[in-house]
A and B are shown apart, each in its own frame.
Chain A
Amino acid sequence: MTETPLFHYTLRLADTALILGHRLSEWVGHSPVIEEDLAFGNMGLDLIGQARALYTYAGAIEAKGRDEDALAYLRDAGDYRNLLLVEQPNGDFAATMVRQLLYAAFAHPYFEALSGSKDETLAAIAAKAAKEMAYHVRHAAEWTIRLGDGTDESHARAQDALDELWPYTGEMFEADQVERALIDTGIAVDPAPLRALWSKSIEDVLAEATLTRPRDGHMQSGGRSGRHSEHLGHILSELQFLQRAYPGATW
């Protein structure tokens, strides 16, 4: 591996944003109400916008001529480093909202912390992303409360989603050797100290939603090193179809 830790780290952030952005875009045209169609479209745009800035920066760090499109469209699943949580299927509306809450409640303080990075480009991208993620948290929290404290049916679906997705939350707080060096030099954020804050935000929402916080058992891990669930390949087959079928196509 000749990749620098900064390239690897930036790509992890970019991949997580792109894959979640793509997942949210899958709802456009299928949402239960038009307001949520707009919401998914807008949140997907926020995430894809964050991904574009991060990919462009990753390409510049790598300095091998790869631009945002090359990094997004021309890497296979094993080269993607996104969190496993964001590639999980949309499921029903409750599952998407719970996934959004679990991620956004983490991403908001994470990007706030990253906006103080010694790396000026990452700090600038993070400062914008933090503002956007504040809206994502609020939106997902309101829906989680509405669904959890709604009908028996919506409550059961929200609780099922929470139980199903919980084992993917541990990975958000991991930092491996790639990140350790960057954390020590003030470039990357150490996610471990954010865990208590995240837990508190989630627990506050769940309490109001009358949902039960699952116990921390075995946590899934590996996405950030390229070990993915089977879902990522299916996402990429759609996301990358055009560039694979018509290499170099532009419009």
Chain B
Amino acid sequence: MATPRLPHMQVPTSGWGADDKARAWAAAASVADPEIPVLSIADLGVLRDVRIDNGTVEAVITPTYSGCPAMNMIALEIELALEKAGFPKHKITTVLSPAWTTDWMTDAGKEKLRAYGIAPPAAKAGRRALFGEDKVACPHCGSANTQRISEFGSTACKALWRCKDCAEPFDYFKCI
């Protein structure tokens, strides 16, 4: 049975303007990736949209990998951030389509990754051929003389590489 919609149950939409939407976006966008704390979920392209409907803020997120274990944590942190920013009603929606791609990562995000010691994904994920070797520059010394150690690294989104010039191992954010 449908609940009758009483007028006093509705927060007037006119009470929420563009400023509020921008504030809600900023609050959600401030959440950092739990595994890569230098990156915000906006840098990563995980935060897809923030909208306000009838006083409820809805944050739309998409996982990097199907099994990314950080998604629950990210959802919780967004809700906390919205709560702190003065939005008491909020919900998180997870979407799978369009599928996340490293092409969505912002240039600022890529630079933050590199400075943190993680090689950022090469551009144009779609062109990566099976068995094609990605060209990855060492995030420490910049050398292109690098070698993949393992396709799978410390998290689902990273591979393990090493630099043959400075001899440092490093994580590479895989193209997908």
Q: Which residues of A contact B (CB under 8 A)?
A: 21, 35-36, 38-39, 41-50, 52-53, 120-121, 123-125, 127-129, 131-132, 134-135, 137-139, 141-142
Contact = CB atoms under 8 A, between A and B. Distances in A.
Contacts of A137: 130
Of B66, B98, B150, B160, chain A has the most CB atoms within 10 Å of the CB of B66
Contacts of A38: 150, 152-154, 160
A138 B97 contact: no
Given A45-B65, A138-B131, A124 B151 contact: no
Nearest to A136: B151
Most buried by B among A47, A50, A124, A139: A124
Contacts of B156: 42, 45-46
Contact of B66 (A35, A36, A41, A53): A53
Given A38-B160, A46-B156, A135 B174 contact: yes
B98 A127 contact: yes
Contact of A138 (B98, B99, B130): B130
Contacts of B176: 131-132, 135
Nearest to B160: A35
Contact of A45 (B67, B130, B131, B153): B67
Contacts of B153: 38, 42
Nearest to B97: A124
B123 interface: no
A120 B99 CA distance: 12
A206 B142 CA distance: 37
B96 A50 contact: no
Contacts of A138: 130-131, 151
Given A38-B154, A39-B152, A42-B153, 12 more contacts: A35-B150, A45-B65, A45-B69, A46-B67, A49-B63, A49-B66, A53-B66, A127-B97, A127-B98, A128-B96, A132-B176, A138-B151
13 contacts: A38-B160, A45-B67, A46-B66, A46-B67, A52-B66, A120-B97, A124-B95, A124-B97, A124-B99, A132-B66, A135-B176, A138-B151, A139-B151
B96 A53 contact: yes
Given A38-B154, A135-B174, A128 B66 contact: yes
A117 to B, nearest CB: 11
Interface in B144-175: 149-156, 160, 174
Task: Please report whether the interface of chain A is mostly helix, strand, loop or mixed according to DSSP.
Answer: helix
A124 to B, nearest CB: 3
Contact of A49 (B65, B97, B131): B65
Chain B interface mostly: loop
Contacts of B149: 35
Interface string B116-155: 0000000000000011000000000000000001111111
Which 8 pairs of residues, A with B, have the shortest CB-CB distance? A49-B67, A49-B66, A45-B67, A124-B97, A35-B150, A39-B152, A124-B96, A42-B152
Interface in B31-79: 63, 65-69
B151 to A, nearest CB: 5
A129 B67 CA distance: 10
Contact of A128 (B99, B152, B154, B174): B99
Contacts of B174: 135
A138 B133 CA distance: 11
A116 to B, nearest CB: 12
A47 B68 CA distance: 11
Contacts of B63: 49, 128
A43 B130 contact: no
Contacts of A131: 99, 176
Contacts of A141: 131
